[in-house]
Amino acid sequence: MASHRSSSKYLQAAQQLRDNPGQWEAYESTNSCCVLAGPGSGKTKTLVTKLARVLAEDVRTPRGVACITFSNEAARELSRRLRQLGMEQSPQLFVGTVHSFCLLHLLLPFGELAGLPLPFPLKIATENQAARIYKTAAEELRGVGQPTRKDEVDRYRRVNLDRDSKAWTQDPEMAALADAYEEALHKQGLIDFDDIVHYGQRLVNEHDWVLKAVRAKFPVLAVDEYQYLGGALDRIVRRLTVQGGVRLIAVGDVDQSVYGFTGANSELLADLSQLDGIQAIHLTVNYRSGTGIIEVAQRALGKDRGYKSSEPDRQASVQIHKCDEGLQHQAEYAMQTLIPAALASKAGRQLGDIAVLYRNRNVGDVAAIQAVTAGYPFVRIDNAAPYRKVPLTSWVEDCAIWCAGGWKISGPPLRDLQGRWRSFHGGLADRAARDAAARLTGFLWSHRGNGPALGFVEALKDELLGTLIDARGELADQAAHVNNMHKALQPEGVLAGTTKAQLGRRDGAPKQLNLLTLHSAKGTEYDVVIILGLDQGDFPSPNWFDNTLEKMEEARRLFYVGVTRARDEAHLMYSGFRKNQYGKIYRDGPSEFLNGLLP
Ligand SMILES: Nc1ncnc2c1ncn2[C@@H]1O[C@H](COP(=O)(O)OP(=O)(O)OP(=O)(O)O)[C@@H](O)[C@H]1O
């Protein structure tokens, strides 16, 4: 038996997998495996149950398991699900993004030793610093007002990993811009997020000793939502599993690939599943949606994948609604008519069981105004948020919840907060780790009660975070997001008056309507989903028209992700026209994604 603090809750959870041959095969597999399956098929459920088993039965302390996913929110959701099975963040269980994996487990421990050409100690540029440095470097190279956007250059750096290859110089201007930017960044003693993954990949690929060290620490590697991750992570995964003998548990769905614009490549998942020694497992039962939704969703995707509902007789529907007066009318109809009807149609259904999804924050603004008018409390996840969810801000939120009353029900557990707190300090020796945990416990204990969040965050910064951030340059970027949180809580800020309990609120809170972008909706599920703004030219949008077939397919997959979040009802809203930012009207009809959707 392994010596991790393990719980047998996974044994109960595993019973649910027994009746599904694919899920059970993944659960029982002792080799590397890759689960490819559609929405709601239990990929994440299988992954977390399997991980809990591996931690309890296969991996002995001090070795552990690393579980990588694509965003901080996704990592938080995975941690939450693992916690339900009794597994908490600890030195033996890493759950986080590819960036934090590369930073904490590759660059910080091995980067300097391996002689990487980066400025040490590592300090990560904030978004503003990186943007300024790029602007200056690009203007020096190509003149003031040069048009190439930083995100295009970043994408180029992400997809062309070998600087000595022909691929790197296929676009000489891009390559020159990228080189000039990186040089200027490093000269200022900074690195950026793309450096972290790029050099992480190089460490694993170019140094056998790094490979061995990683395998010694993490004999098992899990990757959720593989289709969202780019070439650098794919290289790390292949090298660790194929040459390093690390056991891989990967799950994903190529049909839900919606991050091509960031350099993600869904073909990597399909290729990975074909490798020798990797057991490919396909799941076809959808446990989330009723048949009515599954059939329409496959039509929306334009592919019949043969997915079936686990409850074929359950009522589920997709409805299309036309609101003649435009986007605001759509949002108003959703709030005033659809949501009250949805709440009334099922006993016990709450606002938290409903999500309004949209393409971008502009549509989110319209939805938010109508939600306020209707008197619905809501939680909003899009770029309009006053601060970004990164590990440090998420941890501050969870500390606030704990103090506001979470300590009574161990939600979140103090041990989890301490584990994350320790991880921000990098590798701490036992004594120092105990001291850090004790300081945190003392702080939290003395701040119990649901007071204003502003004072709490100020005290946390003064008493704990300040010293940490001064000592750990790699947290500089995340510290900037904590500062944004602090600024938003000021009397003149958008979060003025927020309490500790409210600071920690998020999607999944039962009494709050969920407003979120289609991209943020990945991995979530709701009884009722309402998608706004399905007008040709808005979604797919004009930007998508410069456009390759590939980008249109990605937009279609994004639509598919939205529809497949629904358990019982999906409502698709359009007006038949769109307005540009100057108020000019284009009557291009409903989104082409609605064509032929209903029989
Ligand atoms: N074997 C099972 N028995 C009962 N419920 C299950 C089973 N497998 C999964 N579920 C339920 O189905 C829903 C979807 O599961 P999960 O979120 O793991 O799917 P997913 O494949 O990761 O979805 P997506 O790709 O759409 O995000 C959850 O509510 C989960 O509890």
Angle value at C-alpha 291, between 286 and 292, nearest 5 degrees: 135
The set of protein residues with a Cβ atom below 6 angstroms from ligand 1 is: 16-17, 20, 23, 37, 39-45, 253, 256, 287-288, 523, 525, 564
Which residue, by CA, sits nearest to atom 9 of ligand 1?
42
Compute the distance between CA of residue 271 and CA of residue 381 in angstroms, rounded to an integer: 33
At residue 308, φ and ψ (nearest 5 deg) are -130, 150
Q: Is 29 annotated as a binding residue?
A: no
**In terms of C-beta density within 10 A (0-12 exposed, 13-18 middle, 19 or more buried), how is residue 304 classed?**
exposed
Question: Is 22 annotated in some ligand binding site?
Answer: no
> Which residue from 25, 45, 251 has its CB within 8 A of the most atoms of ligand 1, so it is best to mutate?
45
Residue 223's nearest CA partner among 212, 204, 202, 238 is 238
HSE-up of residue 179 (Cα within 13 Å, Cβ side):
12
Q: Whose CA is nearest to atom 26 of ligand 1?
A: 39
Q: Extract the runs of DSSP E, i.e. beta strands, from 267-389.
A: 278-283, 285-286, 308-309, 317-322, 354-358, 378-381
Q: Is 370 helix (H, G, I), strand (E, B) or coil?
A: helix
pLDDT-flagged residues of the chain (< 50): 1-4, 507, 544-545
Q: How far apart are CA 445 and CA 147, in angstroms?
A: 53
CA distances in angstroms from 375 to 18, 328, 378, 578, listed in the order given = 44, 16, 9, 27
Retrieve residue 480's tokens: 């900037």
Three-class secondary structure of residue 274 per DSSP = helix
What is the ipTM, given to two decimal places?
0.98
State the helix-helix crossing angle for 9-17 and 21-28, rounded to 10 degrees: 140
41 is in an annotated binding site: yes
d(CA 230, ligand 1 centre) in Å: 25
The 3-state secondary structure of 497-519 reads: CCEHHHHCCCCCCCCCEEEEECC
Q: Tokens 């949209």 appear where?
A: 358
Nearest CA to ligand 1 atom 8: 42
Q: 199 CA distance to ligand 1 centroid (A)?
A: 35
Judge whether 156 and 198 are in contact, CB under 8 Å: no
Predicted pLDDT of residue 545: 46
Predicted local distance difference test score (pLDDT) of residue 3: 43
Tell me the helices (H) and strands (E) count for the chain, helix number first: 27, 16
Do the annotations mark residue 150 as ligand-binding?
no
Task: Return the pLDDT at 431.
Answer: 79
